[in-house]
Chains A and B, each alone.
Chain A
Amino acid sequence: MHTDRLGEMLRGLPVERAPAGFAGRVLAGLDARPARTGRGLALGLVLAGTLAAAAAGAFAWLGGTAEDRRRSALREAVAGLRSEARELEQALARPAPDPPPLVYLGGDERADYVLDLRRLEAAGGLLPVPPATRGQGGVL
């Protein structure tokens, strides 16, 4: 019967013996970082080299297009900055409007008390004074 013969053959495979000092080697490995096998490392290096070479080739091939895109983006950014600078120059050149006739009376972190002289004029003098409004930037 093939099955039995195959089983016999399998059981006849040689038994391996660990080299002398193997247990010491394992114990020495306790304090070392886990390392990959030499063959795995070699294959990893070959693969990494291949990928790096391919990436370099792809970069060289696509480089012109990427450089063009970068220059175009820079041109747009510079044009935008120039436009903003022109708007700021024009705004600075315009005469400033007259400040409103306000007198700051005081305040705290919750409210500022301001006297609007235009409303005082409209009221015909200092009396009667409108009640103070509370709140941020409140106006008398």
Chain B
Amino acid sequence: MEPASDAELMDGIRAGDRRALGALVERHQDALLTYLVRLTGQRARAEDLTQDTFLRVWRQAGAGYQEMGRLRGYLLRVATRLALTELRREARHRWLARLWLGGGNGHGVAPPREGGEVQRALQAALQGLPARLRAPLLLVELEGLSCQEAAAALGVRAGTVKSRIHRARQRLAAELRPHLEG
């Protein structure tokens, strides 16, 4: 028996079939988790956000899936919006904590401890980017979304996505110049 397609699983989710959701999670969990770890820089938070993404898909019964055209883009859109909301909330809290308590550290993300030197430098540089630059870069360069799909995921125009990717690349190139030239 052939495995159900993404569209069939989404039909199942709309019909309230929990097994369909389970199958969907099994199929997309690693890709979504990888994207969210890269976006947030934190494994535990990325796991929570991955779970929240699937729960949101279930609770919204896939609303918005049709307009994205394919499931991967739809999942990335839900995940991106959840993650950016979370990151903005955290940034607000950090700012208030600094203002009121005089404390708080820079990004709130631990430096990467795994991988080689180049990979650690890349991860650190990536996390040093503002989320509004990091998200479009990841969506287009690594997740393979078109600029239009990324724009829909981020709620901005395609031109904005392009300019943000350009700026993100410039900043990464400046940060990683020794590794890029070596």
Chain A residues within 8 Å of B, Cβ to Cβ: 2-3, 5-7, 9-19, 22-27, 29-30, 34, 37-40, 43-44, 46-47, 50, 54
Contacts and interface: CB of A to CB of B under 8 A. Distances in A.
Nearest to B100: A50
Contact of A13 (B47, B48, B96, B142): B142
Contacts of B49: 37
Nearest to B29: A18
Given A15-B34, A44-B93, 20 more contacts: A2-B180, A6-B169, A6-B173, A7-B141, A9-B119, A11-B142, A17-B33, A18-B33, A25-B51, A26-B51, A26-B54, A27-B21, A27-B22, A30-B18, A37-B48, A39-B90, A43-B94, A43-B97, A47-B93, A50-B100
B30 A18 contact: yes
A50 B25 contact: no
A22 B21 CA distance: 12
Interface of B: 18, 21-22, 25-26, 29-30, 33-34, 37-38, 42-52, 54-55, 58, 86, 89-90, 93-94, 96-97, 100-101, 114-115, 118-119, 122-123, 137, 141-142, 169, 172-173, 176, 179-180
B100 A18 contact: no
Contacts of B44: 37-39
A98 to B, nearest CB: 76
Contact of A14 (B55, B58, B93, B114): B114
